[in-house]
Chain A
């Protein structure tokens, strides 16, 4: 089987063969919680499609997205770093499919296979760069610029131009009120960069959107490609 997940794809054929027998096909429906705060992580997921959101929690029911992972990454990163749990919550916000692997087994395989371990550590570095630029963007950029960045990041992790996202989700992602999302989408639409319809956002002018997103977009993506390989 050929992998769509960029990490599985970047492994050597020998390391792919190490993982392959242990990978279980998984349907990852929107809303599925993959990792709950402060609970032992029992599985690692390698999404082939769809998008998962990593949420830093403020109390038990509020939070803001601090990172995202789709076919570029894996869900269950603490296990790569010899930690068994995280305060974050991770759930699917765009339906996809992928592979899961038992957490304990995964840790054993990392111990025994330096090629897998090193690639996944480089992914952690790439992911960490992504989150630092989320911090930069949250502090320095307008809601419109952050939305543009976020749409580009989603677009990078899927094949077609239509991103299936509700405004409620976007409000959570950006940490803003719902009408602020409506206004930001309206202004990006006014510039001709996107077309937003109910539950769906179509990217129309990708290059212009990148330019508009400014410093928030580009550095983490370049870093990913240097460390792992092709992102899009």
Chain B
């Protein structure tokens, strides 16, 4: 299985994924990032803590960024629509 690195760019700094993970393909790597985005939002809502804008940067085993997933992509669509309507 290929190795993917899931770095985090939180807007002010880049948090490096030094180890990477073996995942079947890029889709699985995106799912991992999306799942993490949901976990971040879930924790933020439970604790009332805010989180800024940010991205997960998906890099291949050469450490070249090949995709990114926004932390905001972890929000449910219905919630995003409702907030836009305000």
Chain A residues within 8 Å of B, Cβ to Cβ = 142-143, 166-168, 176-180, 182-183, 186, 197-199
24 of the cross-chain contacts (CB-CB < 8 Å) are A142-B43, A142-B46, A143-B39, A167-B17, A167-B21, A176-B36, A177-B39, A178-B17, A178-B21, A178-B32, A178-B36, A179-B6, A179-B17, A179-B36, A179-B56, A180-B36, A180-B40, A182-B6, A182-B8, A183-B36, A186-B8, A186-B15, A197-B18, A198-B19
Contact A166 to B6, CB < 8 A, known contacts A142-B43, A177-B32, A179-B32:
no
Residues in A with CB closer than 8 Å to B8 are: 179, 182-183, 186
Chain B residues within 8 Å of A142, by CB: 43, 46-47
In the assembled complex, how far is the CB of residue A194 from the closest CB belonging to chain B, in whole angstroms? 14
- State the Cβ distance, B26 to closest chain A Cβ, in Å: 15
- Bound-state CA distance A178–B32 (Å) is 7
Secondary structure at the A interface, as helix, strand, loop or mixed, is helix
Query: In the bound complex, what is the Cα–Cα distance between A198 and B43 (angstroms)?
Result: 26
What is the size category of the interface that chain B forms with chain A? 10 to 19
Docked CA distance A177–B41 (Å): 13
Residue of A nearest to B13 (CB): A186
Report the minimum CB–CB distance from B41 to chain A (whole Å): 11
Residue among B15, B17, B35 with most chain A CB within 10 A: B15
